[in-house]
């Protein structure tokens, strides 16, 4: 008796071990699948890291000095002040030619304060700031020059060269091109030759990463479509019973089964029958046997007395009637207890 008991216990422990191992394996498989799904989702959501663009040319550190003195361009300037401003301008240009940059700034500032309506004075001082490696100060002067005279070639030129010094290559190219249209000179041409290759590299860089982002977004959208489709297929598969005849009891149930079959692109056979129909009793077992054989075809059964509205909608005038349906539309039918005709139609459409 004890031996039998011990043998039973041993068999029980073995069974427990097998079941526990299978459960653990399924848990690991589920976690692995979940991890792969999250990894795939993460790859779509991760931001694309852009590499640096290798650019040519010297770039200076931005100057952070306090803004230089500016005049009020709205004031009225007398001839006397205008003449004095011209004298200071000349002194500034002379100092510039001698390499005395700070002195040139002082003289040009005096000229600006005397005649703040002159775009050329601001543009000239901007040029001096450029030589002092103060691009931000040059840009401020060029901006004022262009406010006074939107067609100031010198203003665009100074601002374009200053922006190039700061590495703002695209803005620099724009200003230099405008300056070249207004008053072309060799200095602008030389500067454009330095700026434009960098602009081209930046444009190509932007196009590359824009294309990569579009590709990522397209893959993400495609993955989302596939995920939704998989959910729809899973839901549809749960509604249908492979290898069984599904008896329909309501219009809503009927529509749900047809929709589920359509989402899976499956052929549907509608078997319209009645309890009082003698030939239907003959075809019932045949229909069940065919359902077991053709598991990927959906076999529905509708009692015309229970769902007369469905029978009417499908133009059923006698039973048994077998309607062949794809994507919600009838493509053929067999009327009567025609076992051979039903099998022939199944062979014809079931392999499509």
What is the set of active-site residues? 277, 280
Contact (Cβ atoms closer than 8 angstroms) between residue 148 and residue 117: yes
Task: Return the structure tokens found at 128.
Answer: 């001096």
Contact (Cβ atoms closer than 8 angstroms) between residue 345 and residue 334: yes
Contact (Cβ atoms closer than 8 angstroms) between residue 142 and residue 159: yes
End-to-end CA distance of the chain: 63
Task: Return the structure tokens found at 71.
Answer: 């005049």
For the four alpha carbons of 299, 303, 307 and 312, in that order, the dihedral sign comes to positive
According to DSSP, the β-strands at 321-326 and 298-303 are: unpaired
221, HSE (Cβ side, Cα atoms, 13 Å)? 6
Contact (Cβ atoms closer than 8 angstroms) between residue 242 and residue 296: yes
Residue 238, H or E segment: helix 186-239
According to DSSP, the β-strands at 329-335 and 321-326 are: antiparallel
Task: Return the structure tokens found at 286.
Answer: 């045949």
Question: To which residue do tokens 């001096």 refer?
Answer: 128
Looking at the DSSP bridge assignments, the partners of residue 334 are 322
**DSSP-assigned letter for residue 51:** P
């Amino acid at each position: 008796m004890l031996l039998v008991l011990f043998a039973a216990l041993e068999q029980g422990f073995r069974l427990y071990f097998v079941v526990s191992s299978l459960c653990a394996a399924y848990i690991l498989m589920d976690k692995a699948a979940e991890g792969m799904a999250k990894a795939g989702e993460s790859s779509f959501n991760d931001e694309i890291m852009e590499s640096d663009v290798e650019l040519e040319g010297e770039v200076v550190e931005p100057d952070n000095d306090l803004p230089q003195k500016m005049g009020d361009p709205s004031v009225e300037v007398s001839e006397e002040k205008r003449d004095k401003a011209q004298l200071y301008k000349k002194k500034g240009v002379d100092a510039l030619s001698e390499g005395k940059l700070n002195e040139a700034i002082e003289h040009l500032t005096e000229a600006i304060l005397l005649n703040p309506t002159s775009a050329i004075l601001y543009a000239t001082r901007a040029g001096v700031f450029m030589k002092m490696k103060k691009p931000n100060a040059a840009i401020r002067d060029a901006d004022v020059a262009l406010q006074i005279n939107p067609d100031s070639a010198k203003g665009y030129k100074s601002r374009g060269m200053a922006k190039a010094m700061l590495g703002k290559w695209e803005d620099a190219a724009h200003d230099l091109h405008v300056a070249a249209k207004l008053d072309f000179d060799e200095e602008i041409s030389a500067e454009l030759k330095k700026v434009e290759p960098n602009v081209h590299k930046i444009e190509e860089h932007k196009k590359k990463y824009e294309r990569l982002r579009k590709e990522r977004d397209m893959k993400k959208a495609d993955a989302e479509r596939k995920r939704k489709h998989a959910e729809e297929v899973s839901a549809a598969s749960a509604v249908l019973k492979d290898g069984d005849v599904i008896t329909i009891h309501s219009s809503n149930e009927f529509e749900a089964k047809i929709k589920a079959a359509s989402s899976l692109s499956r052929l549907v056979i509608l078997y319209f029958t009645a309890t009082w129909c003698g030939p239907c009793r003959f075809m019932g077992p045949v229909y069940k046997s065919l359902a077991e054989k053709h598991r990927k075809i959906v076999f529905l059964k509708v009692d015309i007395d229970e769902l007369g509205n469905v029978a009417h909608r499908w133009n059923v005038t006698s039973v048994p009637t077998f309607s062949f349906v794809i994507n919600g539309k009838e493509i053929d039918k067999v009327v009567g207890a025609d076992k051979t005709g039903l099998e022939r139609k199944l062979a014809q459409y079931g392999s499509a």
